[in-house]
Structure 1
Amino acid sequence: MDVFPAFVPLIGRRVGLAGSGEGRAARHRLLSASPAEIVDLHLSDAADPRSWAGMALGFVADPDLAACAAAAAAARAAGVPVNVMDRPALCDFTVPAIIDRGAVVVALGTGGASPLLVSRLRAEIETRLPPGLGRLAAYLDARKDVLRARFPDPADRRVFLSGLLDGDLPQALEAGGEAAADAALFPALESGTAPPGRLFSLPPDTPADLVSLKACRVLAGVDLLVLGEGADTELAALARRDAVRATPADAPPGLVVQRLAEGRTVVLACDPAPYREAGLLISPLPVAR
């Protein structure tokens, strides 16, 4: 990872924008979709650090390299991270390609190495993200206190939410609004019933770059990943970061049965025979070849 992605809260914050021309207009269009207060600065004023005081971020876009450098230095002197359009050497951060779904924001970047590649990836990914995704995230955020009270353990809460998101809640919210979604959420909260655990398998010699989209989605939500001898080590990189990685010796069938009873998702990247012999039902994940 050459750069570290981070999200800067903008509610109630001020963002400085200096420059002229189409580049500045493009940055203004980008920032106008945020809740931040945009402070327009003339380039002559932008060379003074006092003009940047109290800003969360700074943006500069202008054909004049010297003016850009002076504005960037002033912002930095004021302790404000600054981005200068098309001048990576003057930047504290780069601007990613953004997919905006309100409460859900997806950012893609290469650290400025290939904006065209990122733009193409953005177009491909955007078609897979439903427009109502942000509304769903905002709905769950408004009910996070209720969810945390019912499921204090984050792992139990994640299992419960996974079942809801795989069930009728998203469709209920889309079709009938919050009242319909509540009708799906609160009875499930009262019952506290965990969704059934899921057990999947991948051939242990599956190269990570040949894993199918469905398998990637399962690995992104896996709780226990069992890696057998010869398994591609890159498979572990596709799994959820806080998922448990184990060898077959550390995750015998009895332990897997226990995890499934807790509603967990388990992926076997190992010989599945011992688990089948224990009576476990395993769903093979497709591999793109």
Structure 2
Amino acid sequence: MHSLPVFLRLTGRPVILLGTGEAAEAKRRLLERAGATIVAEDATASLAIVAIEDEEEAVAAVARLKQRGILVNAVDRAALCDFTLPAIVDRDPVIIAIGTGGASAGLAKALRQRIEALLPPTVGMLAQAMADARGAMRARWHDAASRRRAIDAALARGGALDPLAGADASTVAAWLDNAGEDAAPARLERIPLASADPEDLTLRAARLLGEADAVFHHPSVPVPILERARADARRIATATPPVWSDPGLALWLTMGEE
């Protein structure tokens, strides 16, 4: 991973913007949408965007800003950037950012347009309704693991809250009215890996890694594969087939037929 994706709250915060013309105006509009206060170069700020067309002038401005410890985005100059600005799908409060590390803004735009077409306008309403229902969900499922499993099942394809099926606030209310107690059975799935490259994971394996509560793995399974698992999933190295009796899903990863 070449960069760490981060969502910054810029409301009322100063951001330096240098440059004129179409590129600078586009960045100005983006910053204003995010609530930032746009300031001049000599102001105190943590972030700056340099949208100067002249190469020498832009390089000099970037150097001055970096010397002050300011993180800089230099438009169309990826090698000078401390951070890049992604293509954005905005379904407030849901935000999807697509970045290429400055490799191709055109590719990021094309991906954004595809994702825009997939997402119904109700996704933002669904997110807000789930935020509003946190208290009710905690009352229904007292422990975090049960709550997560119930939410995961509801948000899955074909689930009660499938985000791509137009679920909204009324759907969340109906789901809570009809949801039963968590009774997820113990389930252990073995995944024999044909490759050490995480890009070679099957769609099923990638999906299960994102869902599993625990990942048992042979010591030979490489770290990049394990990094595809849920961040809070337990990871247990073992050379022998595991026994799993807890509620929820566990995986047993092996290399080939080990």
User: 1:28-80, CA deviations, whole angstroms, 9 ceiling, x for partnerless residues?
Assistant: 34335x341453x5xxxx34x23xx3x56432312134554565466557765
- Mapping of residues 220-231 of structure 1, within 5 Å: 220-228=210-218, 231=221
**What is the TM-score with the length of structure 2 in the denominator?**
0.75
2:189 counterpart residue number:
200
1:281 counterpart residue number:
none
Q: What is the identity, as a one-letter code, of the residue corresponding to 1:36?
A: G
Distance change >3 Å, CA 8–CA 171, structure 1 → 2: closer
1:278 counterpart residue number:
none
Q: What is the deviation of 1:98? A: 2.8
1:19 counterpart residue number:
19
Contact kept? 1:205, 1:230, Cα under 8 Å: no
In the alignment, which of 256, 259, 268 is matched to residue 252 of structure 2?
A: 268
2:6 counterpart residue number:
6
- Mapping of residues 101-140 of structure 1, within 5 Å: 101-123=91-113, 128-140=118-130
Q: Distance in 1 between matches of 2:28 and 2:181?
A: 47
Q: Distance in 2 between matches of 1:80 and 1:232?
A: 37
Identity %: 35
Q: Distance in 2 between matches of 1:21 and 1:68?
A: 14
Contact kept? 1:57, 1:81, Cα under 8 Å: yes
**What is the TM-score with the length of structure 1 in the denominator?**
0.68
Q: Are 2:155 and 1:165 aligned?
A: yes
Q: What is the deviation of 1:85? A: 0.9
SS at structure 2 position matched to 1:8: coil
SS at structure 2 position matched to 1:216: helix
SS at structure 2 position matched to 1:169: coil
User: 1:139-193, CA deviations, whole angstroms, 9 ceiling, x for partnerless residues?
Assistant: 2222234434555643333222112223213479936x423421212443xx532
Q: What is the identity, as a one-letter code, of the residue corresponding to 1:181?
A: V
- Mapping of residues 204-215 of structure 1, within 5 Å: 204-207=193-196, 208-215=198-205
Q: What is the identity, as a one-letter code, of the residue corresponding to 1:91?
A: C
Q: What is the identity, as a one-letter code, of the residue corresponding to 2:35?
A: A
CA RMSD between the two structures: 3.7
Q: Flag structure 2 segments of 5+ consecutive residues without an equivalent.
A: none
Of structures 1 and 2, the larger Rg is shown by 1
- Mapping of residues 55-94 of structure 1, within 5 Å: 55=45, 57-69=47-59, 72=62, 80-88=70-78, 90-94=80-84
